[in-house]
Structure 1
């Protein structure tokens, strides 16, 4: 996206991780990078 994220763009992930929807999720890394890691060869 060629830019840094806006604070509001983190809300979806934060709400998910703080909700009961993620109660069975353990040991993951959630990349919030606008697709950078998908296209940079990381």
Structure 2
């Protein structure tokens, strides 16, 4: 995911458009929540 963020920032900066910066997200908590809600039958 960090490589995608850097790629998008660099691409928009080099294209002459306003730079798009995607904020950092903590996906660890989301992963734990999904593990608890996932059931295996």
TM range (shorter): 0.3 to 0.5
Higher relative contact order (CA 8 A, sep 6+): 1
Tell me the TM-score normalised to structure 1 length.
0.35
